[in-house]
Chain A
C-alpha cells in the first residue's frame, strides 16, 4: 500500500538549534517528493520538492531535504531554526507519469520553536 510515515509527531526546539524531520515512503514506481508547511491558521505552502537529479534539494527559508532512494527517505533539515519556523510540516509523495494522481500525505510533524 502507498503510504508516507513521518517519524516525529511533535518536535520542540530552542532557537538556533538544528532541525531534522524524518520522512519515509512506500510507493511503487518513480516518485515526486514534497515538503509542505502550514503556519498557524494558514493554508499549506510548498517548502521544497524533488522530481529528479541532485538528491539534495533546497527550498525556501533555508530548508533543505535529501532524497535517499535506497532508504525510501526524504528528510527535511535546517541548520538553525527560528521562532517563525513554528508550524506543522507535511511530507507528501505522488507518482511520476500518473496524470491527476493526488498526493499522499504523512500525518504531519508539529514544530514548536521557543525564543
Chain B
C-alpha cells in the first residue's frame, strides 16, 4: 500500500516550457487535491477533484490545468511555466464521503522555473 505517490520528485524548467505532474493514490479515495507550498505561505490549494469526473478551482488556479484521469490518478499541468510557479507541489487524497475526512499527502515535487 503505497499511499499517495508523485512523479517526478524534482524538475527544472525554462520559462515557457510545459510539463505535467503526476499523482496516484491506492487508497480508493474519491477526492484528490493539488497544493503548492511556498516559504511563509503555508499550503495553498490549486485545484481539487471531489470525485471522478469533476474538478474545481482552488485559491491559486491561474497558470494550471488538471485532469482526473480515473479514480486513482490526478495530474497537474503547467502549460507555459513561469518563475512564479517555482514551488513545491503536493498532491493529497481523502475519502470525503466520510464525515471524518482526513487528507493524506504525497512526497511532493520540487519544481524550479528558470
**Residues of chain B contacted by A4 (CB below 8 angstroms):** 42
Find out whether the CB atom of B50 lies under 8 angstroms from the CB atom of A99: yes
Chain B residue at minimum C-beta to C-beta distance from A100: B50
A-contact 0/1 string along B12-51, CB 8 Å cutoff:
0000000000000000001101010000111111001111
How many residues of chain A get a CB closer than 8 Å to chain B's CBs? Answer: 27
Residue of A nearest to B103 (CB): A103
A-chain residues with CB within 8 Å of residue B50 when the two chains form the complex: 99-100
- State whether the Cβ of B79 lies closer than 8 Å to any Cβ in chain A: no
Q: Is the CB of A90 within 8 A of B43?
A: yes
- Chain B interface main SS type: loop
Contact of B43 among A51, A100, A101, A105 (CB under 8 A): A105
Partner of B33, one of A46, A49, A102, A108: A102
Shortest beta-carbon distance from B75 to chain A in Å: 17
Contacts of B44 in A (CB 8 A): 105
Chain A residues within 8 Å of B45, by CB: 102-104
- B contact set with A: CB distance below 8 Å: 30-31, 33, 35, 40-45, 48-51, 54, 56, 58, 90, 92, 96-97, 99-108
Q: List 17 A-B contacts (CB under 8 A).
A: A4-B42, A43-B105, A43-B106, A43-B107, A44-B43, A46-B102, A46-B104, A49-B100, A51-B99, A100-B56, A100-B96, A103-B33, A103-B45, A103-B103, A105-B42, A105-B44, A106-B42
